[in-house]
Amino acid sequence: MTKSGIGVPEVILFYGDPSQMTHIIHALSYEGEYNIESKFLGYGESCIKGVLLPFLSGEPQVILPGTGDRTLGLTKEEEMAIGIPAELLFYVNKNLFKSGGIFNMRQPTRFIIGNIPEGMGPPAWNYLKRQLKKKNRTANTKTSMEINPHP
């Protein structure tokens, strides 16, 4: 879609599986410039959210393809999409696959077997790991007290 008709596109709509879209989202948010927030309408996703909103607002939008995408565009059920202003294409290319450093999942997705080294991963993982350890300590203490109520 262009303001002046046929020519250089002003919006790009990418379709792919969730892991591919995750790489694009990570590339956009890598430097903290474009943190995507999307609300889902359930209809007109690719037309309204995927093209019109990025065109008007200059902000990327994640979409869930709808009936039109599936029946007319032959979009697969396991696909999703993201619409971005065309000027962000080079920004995405610059940051693609940078997030996560050596632990980046790449494409196709690679899997990490075993435990992730202490301190690695998203901060939420470390928080949840501490909470789980705390919960286990509490459970172990209760179990010990049930076995031997009078130490």
pLDDT tens column, 131-146:
888 888 887 766 555 6
More confident residue, 107 or 75: 75
Locate all alpha helices (DSSP H) within 15-62, ordered by sequence: 18-29, 53-57
Task: Give the pLDDT confidence score for residue 118 in this predicted structure.
Answer: 67
Kindly report whether the global pTM for this prediction surpasses the value 0.85: no
At residue 13, φ and ψ (nearest 5 deg) are -115, 110
Tokens matching residue 23: 């790489």
| Residue 49 φ/ψ, nearest 5 degrees | -80, -40
- Where do we find the tokens 């610059």? 94
Q: What's the rounded mean pLDDT across residues 113-123?
A: 64
